Amino acid sequence: MQYLHTMVRVSDLDASLHFYCELLGLEEISRQESEKGRFTLIFLAAPEDRQRAREERTAMLELTCNWDPEEYSGGRNFGHLAYRVEDIYALCERLEANGVTINRPPRDGHMAFVRSPDGISIELLQQGDALPPQEPWASMENTGSW
């Protein structure tokens, strides 16, 4: 058995690509549009998974955008996506500066949670050892749920 990808439905493709690619740092690996099925599929991978994603088609996030308007709910019962990051403080700072709520701040220098534009919970984990506690994160309260 081999893990291939996780699919999430998105309602605003531009907002989702901005969040996942420009803010989180994932990269588009491939895109497929189906006129007949009326959907777009975009496969993303973390930079360190890029080669594996291209060669083996694994370790990817599939964004599915149905062309006909549809409201999605229940992102919470999905669980979450998790990514290891080089500098959790720098990434949370970039996300917050771009209007993303840090639902669970990285008070411990190790873990944070945010939500995508469609409410998908994203866990961010510091690569290696936890960073020393740092403000404003160390004293920041949780916001909402994750």
Task: Give the active site residues.
Answer: 123
Secondary structure letter of residue 136 according to DSSP: T
| In the block, residue with structure tokens 């973390």 | 46
User: Are 105 and 112 within 8 A, CB to CB?
Assistant: yes
Please state whether the peptide bond connecting residue 136 to the residue before it is cis, i.e. omega within 30 degrees of 0.
yes
Q: What are the counts of helices (DSSP H) followed by strands (DSSP E) for the chain? A: 4, 8
Angle at 70 between CA 66 and CA 76, to 5 degrees: 100
